[in-house]
Structure 1
Amino acid sequence: MKKTKILLVSDGGVTKALMQKMYELEPYGAEITLVEDTDMPSMGYITDRMGLLEREGINAAPSCEPLLENCADKEIIVVHVASINREVIAASPNLKVAAVLRGGIENADAPALKERGIKLINAPWRSADAVADFTVGMMIAENKNIARAHKLLFEGKWCKNYTNQSYIHNMNRSTVGIIGFGYIGRRVADRAKAFGSKIVVFDPFQKPEAIERAGCAALSLEELLKQSDYVTIHMRLSDQTREYLGEKEFSLMKPTAYFINTARAGLVDTSALLKALQTKSIGGAAIDVFDKEPLSQDNPFLKLDNVTLTPHLAGTSCDTMRNSVDICFEDIKNYIQGKPMTNISN
């Protein structure tokens, strides 16, 4: 039986141990080679690389040498954040499937792969549960002053009165507005429903009937912003969605409403958000993603008393990495067996 040669590239996120799952493909005719991207030994390096690729594109990152050294005869290449760029593609004449164990595909040159007829697959919902959990946590933390109270206690201060004292509401009396109703947005809706919140949704890429079938109200963006006590955005960053929310959109929000961003900083006009927070034209914000990471000590967000800030943690979970492998494992198994793959991105 002809073997399907597969190259796995582990790193400090999707480790060698997690990649062992792929060896279960051997009974289906896979021949596995496992190498390690030693330039990405931990999540700090990985997060920085992801940010670089998102900001500057596929050519901003160097090729992974162990990948280049072992790709020549491989039919499938599986990476986490190592780049599948034109150099790698040119060095892989037998390549048929490129698998990126991430929700996004920024570290793969999708047009170059398409030119060669190489299928690109990824793990689109790998971090959906982690981000949804985190998003609801950020809503509650900002509304209930959890992070602020924690910080003040460590400073020796026992504070019982906060900037938002007059509009600290229970979740079951709140309307949660979700912009973007994909893998993450739907999971945020499910979690907020469990708290008894009313859920309203805007998604320009989905039909209102699909939103209504999920038990949510489909609104225009303008109406969602006007009605919501929490506005959370869950869209992919693209030319269509860059700075999707700006001064006009923040001006439509309630002065007591909270804005939550656990998606991408580029979805928001940062200067407009800062102005809305500084002038208290919105109630507050909880933000996990920033234009430049890490934050500098003079970043204006750090001077505000109506924000909860976290260092790009929303997708962080041991389960996220395991999900990545499990999702792509099923598609690769289908490919080897001649069945359709589910998560094709090109």
Structure 2
Amino acid sequence: MKVRCAVLDDYQNVALCMADWSTITEDVDVRVFNKHFTDENELVNAIGDCEIVVAMRERTPFGATTFSRLPLLKLLVTTGMRNSSIDLAAAAQHGVTVCGTGGVSHSKATVELTWALILGISRHIVLENRAIQTNGSWQTTIGTDIYGKQLGIIGLGKIGTDVARVGKAFGMEVAAWSENLTEERASAAGVRLASSKDELLKTSDYVSIHLVLSERTKGIIGAHDLQLMKPSAYLINTSRAPIVDQAALIDALQNRSIAGAGLDVYEIEPLPESSPFRSLPNVLATPHIGYVTRSTYEVWYSDAVKDIQAYLAGSPVRTLS
């Protein structure tokens, strides 16, 4: 009898063509779900007979209750090597092995999307395109320059550093801040170390967030911080939504205390139809596609297949704990 495997949240219906699943199909019955399960009961009913589950990033949470309701589950594979939506302690308690996948070492996908949002919102690309295609209107907005403006980066890790490099190529002044950022690290990246978070927010024309979500960074940008920003400034978030107080951000956008925001991440995903982020005219919103590229998917799904092979052979690889 074959082992049953569920592949979750394959929105684009591409999982089976991004890797060679034929290497395991003799032993594994692979079942792909394109629809996102927002309800735990629905999820459990769909995958309750599966021993293996492949999860796409943090789209579907696996907490203690979920594990307790999936007694047949033995292997959970997550794309990437970190997933805050999986309770690893609960997985271990219920005898579930959790494995990750590698990434694309050269991938600049999130960096590229960050700049797509900056350029798109500063030049009103979507609005101008819509005007041309719907009613033929010509030059309906006035763009905002990025040359000579200050780009403020919150979190100067690998992605933040690459975003800074592009900003400098565009002729921007680049400053950075995070709680542990040093002068030496900022200088190595060729950017100015802001004296404080407040100073960065007050002086920047574009603020781009590149932090890992943690208890320390959750809500690090709140109502007070947004009030410090220039009325002409834009906030860009391609990291994680809870880093920014979402209610405060909506208020700032509605009241035009900041010029706008480019967003790829949200507290609830897919984004509810009632969310103001879907309708605010000063928001450029994308559906969490920072990592959604062919090269990334090919690595993730190929490694997922290898994780399943290793598990079936009794020697799991890339285990998370």
TM norm structure 2? 0.73
Q: Which residue of the other structure, out of 88, 91, 111, is the alignment partner of 1:110?
A: 88
Q: 1:181 aligns with which of 141, 151, 156?
A: 156
The 3-state SS of whatever aligns with 2:220 is coil
CA apart distance, 1:310 = 2.9
CA–CA separation in structure 2 for the residues paired with 1:138 and 1:324: 25
Aligned residue in 1 for 2:15 = 15
1:104/1:124 contact within 8 Å kept: no
Which of residues 189, 193, 196 in structure 2 aligns to 1:218?
193
Structure 1 match to 2:112: 133
Task: Please identify which structure carries the higher helix content.
Answer: 1
Cα distance between partner residues in 1 of 2:90 and 2:83:
13
User: In 1, Cα distance between the equivalents of 2:220 and 2:41?
Assistant: 25
Q: How many residues end up aligned between the 2 structures?
A: 308
Kindly indicate whether residue 224 of structure 2 is the aligned counterpart of residue 243 of structure 1: no
Partner of 1:56: none
| Alpha-carbon distance in 2 for matches of 1:141, 1:37 | 38
- Counterparts of 1:77-88 in structure 2 under 5 Å? 79-81=54-56, 86-87=67-68
Distance in 2, matches of 1:276 and 1:237, equals 22
| Match 2:286 to one of 310, 319, 333 | 310
Give SS of 1:285's match: strand
Q: Quick check: 1:142 aligned with 2:121?
A: yes
Q: For 1:182 and 1:34, locate their aligned partners in 2 and report how far apart those are by CA, in whole Å.
A: 39
Q: Quick one: which of 264, 269, 273 aligns to 1:296?
A: 273
Matches within 5 A, 1:33-182: 33-38=27-32, 40-41=33-34, 45-46=35-36, 49=37, 52=38, 62-63=43-44, 68-69=49-50, 71=51, 79-81=54-56, 86-87=67-68, 91=72, 98-102=76-80, 104-106=82-84, 108-115=86-93, 120-123=98-101, 125=103, 129-162=108-141, 165=142, 168-170=144-146, 172-182=147-157
Measured in 2, the distance between the counterparts of 1:303 and 1:238 equals 29
Q: Are the aligned partners of 1:22 and 1:329 in contact in 2 as well (CA < 8 Å)?
A: no
Return the alpha-carbon distance in structure 2 between the equivalents of residues 160 and 255 of structure 1: 23
| Amino acid of the structure 2 residue aligned with 1:36 | V
Deviations 1:304-344 (A, max 9, x none): 443323333333322231132456678899999xx997x66
- Cα-Cα RMSD: 4.2
How far apart in 2 are the matches of 1:279 and 1:193? 31
Question: What amino acid does structure 1 have at the position aligned with 2:139?
Answer: K
Distance in 2 of aligned mates of 1:317 and 1:154: 27
Q: Which is worse superposed, 7-16 or 227-236?
A: 7-16
1:149-206 alpha-carbon deviations (Å, 9 max, x no partner): 11222331524353xx4x7113x32322222334533443343344333332223355
Contact 1:8 1:33 survives alignment (8 Å): no
Q: Distance in 1 between matches of 2:47 and 2:246?
A: 39
State whether residues 48 and 72 of structure 2, in contact with CA within 8 Å, keep that contact through their aligned partners in structure 1. Answer: no
Structure 2 counterpart of 1:108, one-letter code? I
Alpha carbons of structure 1 residues 33 and 135: separation in structure 2 relative to 1, 3 Å: farther
Secondary structure class of the residue paired with 2:135: coil
Measure how far apart 1:240 and its partner are: 3.2
Letter paired with 1:277: L
Aligned sequence identity (%): 26
Evaluate the alpha carbon distance shift between residue 65 and residue 150 of structure 1 in structure 2; reply closer, same or farther with a 3 A threshold.
closer
Q: 1:344 and 1:208, CA in 2 relative to 1: closer, same or farther beyond 3 A?
A: farther
Q: Which stretches in structure 1 are left out of the alignment for 5+ residues? A: 1-5, 54-58, 72-76
Structure-1-length-normalised TM-score: 0.69
